[in-house]
A and B are shown apart, each in its own frame.
Chain A
Amino acid sequence: MDSELSSQDRKDLDKFIKFFALKTVQVIVQARLGEKISTCSSSSPTGSDWFNLAIKDIPEVTHEAKKALAGQLPGIGRSMCVEISLKTSEGDTMELETWCLEMNEKCDKDIKVSYTVYNRLSLLLKSLLAITRVTPAYKLSRKQGHDYVILYRIYFGEVQLTGLGEGFQSVRVGVVGTPIGTITLSCAYRTNLALMSSRQFERTGPIMGIIIDHFVERPFTNMAHMHPCTYRAPGEDEGGTYAGIEDSQEVCTTSFSTSPPSQLYSSRLSYQTPALGTVDLCHPTACTAAAHPHQMVVPGKEGGVPQVPAQPNHGTAAEHGRIPSCPNGQSPQPAQPTSCSSEVKTVCCDALETTFTRKVGAFVNKATTQVTTTSLDLPFAAFAPRAYDLEVNDPMVHPPPSPAPSSPLQGSLHSNSSSQSGGQPQDDFVMVDFKPAFSKDDLLPMDLGTFYKEFQNPPQLASLSIDVSAQSMAEDLDSLPEKLAIYEKNIDEFDAFVDTLQ
């Protein structure tokens, strides 16, 4: 099998696959940065543009990709995946899409490595550029900022699509046959964009200026972490660590040879020695003929009070506390040809901690305001005693079991627990002289303070304090005919009452 492939071809092929994987990751992540991408065409080959395409290299992304690959290449059973997720400022995350670079066993032995494979990989990258603008995540990424951010994660191994929800769609970007297998690039994207309310809310650290280990690991991951789709200038925190990635200096000068059209074409690659020093692939100065301004993608819009846009389940999330608004000192900087702005990192990350506070619902665990029956001028008072009489025997009324009231000023209209907490806790409290504001002392038998105390703990309505144990279901049913007879007797009064309502 592989013995038919010359060692030079094999080396070339491995190199192509490696750099194809790295460029694929760059294209995908850059397409999710939230800004328009623009690169120069150059009629003269610069020697650093793999696949004859001007795709900038964000060093951090290259670093992450290499870390994920860990010296291996995408191969049969070993796929490289880029997962794009959305994270709201409240900490909800949602996987949006997974891009997969896979290889299967179908080999194309006759294909020319240094020519056809290379050109087809170049074509596949162009197709990827087009497709990355078409999936739903693109529009979301263009609107990222205060409400949510887009994160990426690179992992190597088995493809994981479970986080995409039900009904996810797949689009195949393209395939390239090689002598060692067929490379396939595809994307699976979520179609159900409603945030899942049952999702486990992850308490996370600051979203901004992301340190890798702040994110909660998912149980099914290979421990790789999420990264924001942002760009930081080299020379900042990393101290220019990535400026000298040794492989990036292994530039590719493609030379193709031509022969009369009737014969097969052959080509060879020539590599330049890494004499380019700090070829900063991410800087537009690498591009000659700068007829077009470069646009470095620097979103600096994280922070602020987030709201997930157009999410029907957002109502449930509204019960949770908001992240305090963080004054965002950054605004998207215009393109700088020679230096990349790096303020993205310095957004006040401390203020963006997720807090979970619940609004306390009314009438929960609180003694509610009670109303004393004694002082009420009940409407339809003429019926109140009778209603009381009726309700005492009314089997349909099942009052909450309440302890024997220690005073008539007890009970609750609203909840069982309150009735129990209504009077008793009062005994545990130390009586203090309650001096309400604006009250005068001892001028009235019932002063404001006393009224307050009574008002706080009114007695339970007598009509509700029916002793249930005295009756059973059977007895209730037996007493029904009597009740019906009473109602019929008083039918005239009921009619008169109804007439007053009209």
Chain B
Amino acid sequence: MNCRSEVLEVSVEGRQVDEAMLAVLHTILLQRSTGKFHYKKEGTYSIGTVGTQDVDCDFIDFTFVRVSSDELDRVIRKAVAEFKDALGNSGSDGMGQISLEFYQKKKSRWPFSDECIPWEVWSIKVNVVNLANEQERQICREKVGEKLGEKVINIVEVINRHDYLPKMPTQSEVDNVFDTSLKDVQPYLYKITYQITDSLGTSVSTTMRRLIKDTLAL
């Protein structure tokens, strides 16, 4: 199966990174989450209700909608905070990428571990800019708000193409498709990763890999 890959790019000021990432990630997760499945006898299941919540950004002129699930919000915020810290600590020009990957688990026989097969990957490239004065910041607030609006429209456009979605699983398979750890909602299985790009445009991980290879080659 081919994995669908989408790339979004945003340029933000340092203090806008959190909210911009939250806005994009929550917008995607809103549309990739369902209510909790309740399996009944005879192979039927019912689906719980997903609530939504408006979130106003403090540093961006933007409001986004997220799923009403504090648990999910905590997980996403934690991932975004780690990404932001990594961006700040890297000493790079403030370029990085955070990825939201939806995957399915495929059970493998012992001793092999389960395989994770991604079916949709969203990559958000972030470029952190430094602004000199308050006027520029104000302009940035509005501009980033507009850009995020465009990103939301892009996301909705991709999602509504109704490309591949995992089939609805049986009760025994549900954990291979959905994240059932939350109490109130059930997003598709996902993972969030990030990488920081140094000023040369290469990622830190590739640089490290090269260094190790070179060392071993000696």
Shortest C-beta distance, B147 to chain A (Å), equals 11
Contact with B along A123-156 (1 / 0, CB 8 A): 1101101110111001100100000000000000
Chain A residues near B65 (CB, 8 Å)? 129-130, 133
User: A254–B51 Cα gap in the complex (Å)?
Assistant: 17
Band of interface residues on B: 35 or more
Instruction: Tell me, yes or no, whether A41 is within 8 Å of chain B by CB.
Output: yes
In residues 17-75 of chain B, which contact A (Cβ within 8 Å)? Answer: 27, 30-31, 34-36, 38-40, 42-56, 61, 63-65, 67-70
A292 touches B173 (CB 8 A): no
Other-chain residue from A46, A174, A176, A256 in contact with B45 (beta carbon distance below 8 A): A256
B35 touches A45 (CB 8 A): yes
B45 touches A258 (CB 8 A): yes
B49 touches A54 (CB 8 A): yes
Other-chain residue from A42, A133, A138, A257 in contact with B44 (beta carbon distance below 8 A): A257
Chain B residues near A292 (CB, 8 Å)? 51, 53, 68, 70
User: A248–B36 Cα gap in the complex (Å)?
Assistant: 23
Interface centre among B46, B169, B173 (most CB of A within 10 A): B46
Shortest C-beta distance, A162 to chain B (Å), equals 24
A256 touches B44 (CB 8 A): yes
Among listed A32-40, A198-206, A324-332, A338-346, interface-contacting one? A32-40
Shortest C-beta distance, A447 to chain B (Å), equals 65
Count A interface residues, CB 8 Å: 51
Chain B residues near A115 (CB, 8 Å)? 168
Q: Say whether, besides A123-B159, A174-B156, A53 and B31 are in contact (CB < 8 Å).
A: no
Instruction: Tell me, yes or no, whether A43 is within 8 Å of chain B by CB.
Output: yes
Instruction: Tell me, yes or no, whether A245 is within 8 Å of chain B by CB.
Output: no
Other-chain residue from A40, A46, A134 in contact with B152 (beta carbon distance below 8 A): A134
User: A52–B40 Cα gap in the complex (Å)?
Assistant: 17
Instruction: Tell me, yes or no, whether A260 is within 8 Å of chain B by CB.
Output: yes
A260 touches B50 (CB 8 A): no
In residues 160-192 of chain B, which contact A (Cβ within 8 Å)? Answer: 160, 162, 167-171, 173, 183-185
Shortest C-beta distance, B47 to chain A (Å), equals 5
Dominant SS among interface residues on chain B: mixed
B169 touches A45 (CB 8 A): no
Other-chain residue from A46, A49, A123, A129 in contact with B160 (beta carbon distance below 8 A): A123
Q: Say whether, besides A41-B51, A42-B51, A120-B162, A127 and B68 are in contact (CB < 8 Å).
A: no
Instruction: Tell me, yes or no, whether B117 is within 8 Å of chain A by CB.
Output: no
Q: Which residue of B lies closest to A286 (CB)?
A: B49
Q: Which residue of B lies closest to A27 (CB)?
A: B52
User: A253–B159 Cα gap in the complex (Å)?
Assistant: 26
B43 touches A257 (CB 8 A): yes
Q: Say whether, besides A46-B49, A54-B49, A258-B45, A37 and B168 are in contact (CB < 8 Å).
A: no
B50 touches A54 (CB 8 A): yes
Q: Say whether, besides A54-B49, A138-B63, A261-B167, A43 and B43 are in contact (CB < 8 Å).
A: no
Shortest C-beta distance, A111 to chain B (Å), equals 10
User: A49–B51 Cα gap in the complex (Å)?
Assistant: 10
Chain B residues near A129 (CB, 8 Å)? 30, 52, 65
A41 touches B157 (CB 8 A): no
Interface centre among A38, A39, A133, A253 (most CB of B within 10 A): A133
Chain A residues near B44 (CB, 8 Å)? 255-258, 267
Instruction: Tell me, yes or no, whether A287 is within 8 Å of chain B by CB.
Output: yes
Q: Say whether, besides A139-B61, A174-B160, A41 and B185 are in contact (CB < 8 Å).
A: yes
Chain A residues near B47 (CB, 8 Å)? 45, 52, 254, 256
B69 touches A253 (CB 8 A): no
Chain B residues near A468 (CB, 8 Å)? none
In residues 135-191 of chain A, which contact B (Cβ within 8 Å)? Answer: 135, 138-139, 142, 171-176
Instruction: Tell me, yes or no, whether B153 is within 8 Å of chain A by CB.
Output: yes
Shortest C-beta distance, B156 to chain A (Å), equals 4
User: A125–B203 Cα gap in the complex (Å)?
Assistant: 38
User: A42–B51 Cα gap in the complex (Å)?
Assistant: 7
Instruction: Tell me, yes or no, whether B14 is within 8 Å of chain A by CB.
Output: no
Instruction: Tell me, yes or no, whether B118 is within 8 Å of chain A by CB.
Output: no
Instruction: Tell me, yes or no, whether A473 is within 8 Å of chain B by CB.
Output: no
Chain B residues near A41 (CB, 8 Å)? 35, 48-51, 67-69, 184-185
Instruction: Tell me, yes or no, whether A289 is within 8 Å of chain B by CB.
Output: yes
User: A3–B53 Cα gap in the complex (Å)?
Assistant: 42
Q: Which residue of A lies closest to B34 (CB)?
A: A52
B45 touches A36 (CB 8 A): no
Contact with B along A102-135 (1 / 0, CB 8 A): 0000000000000100001001101101110111
Other-chain residue from B49, B53, B61 in contact with A52 (beta carbon distance below 8 A): B49
Shortest C-beta distance, A258 to chain B (Å), equals 5
Other-chain residue from A42, A127, A175, A287 in contact with B35 (beta carbon distance below 8 A): A42
Chain B residues near A256 (CB, 8 Å)? 44-47, 168
Instruction: Tell me, yes or no, whether B88 is within 8 Å of chain A by CB.
Output: no
A130 touches B30 (CB 8 A): yes
User: A338–B169 Cα gap in the complex (Å)?
Assistant: 38
Chain A residues near B31 (CB, 8 Å)? 123, 126-127, 130
Besides the known contacts A41-B185, A46-B49, A54-B51, 12 further A-B residue pairs in the complex with CB atoms under 8 A apart: A36-B63, A40-B51, A41-B49, A45-B47, A45-B48, A52-B35, A126-B30, A133-B152, A174-B160, A254-B46, A255-B46, A257-B42
* 5 A-B pairs with least C-beta separation: A174-B160, A36-B54, A39-B51, A54-B51, A41-B51
Residues of A at the B interface (CB closer than 8 Å) are 36-46, 49, 52-54, 115, 120, 123-124, 126-127, 129-131, 133-135, 138-139, 142, 171-176, 253-261, 265, 267, 287, 289, 291-292
24 example contacts (A-B, Cβ-Cβ < 8 A) are as follows A36-B56, A38-B52, A39-B51, A41-B49, A42-B35, A42-B49, A43-B184, A45-B46, A45-B49, A49-B49, A52-B35, A53-B51, A123-B160, A130-B30, A130-B152, A133-B54, A133-B64, A173-B160, A174-B156, A254-B46, A254-B47, A258-B170, A258-B171, A259-B170
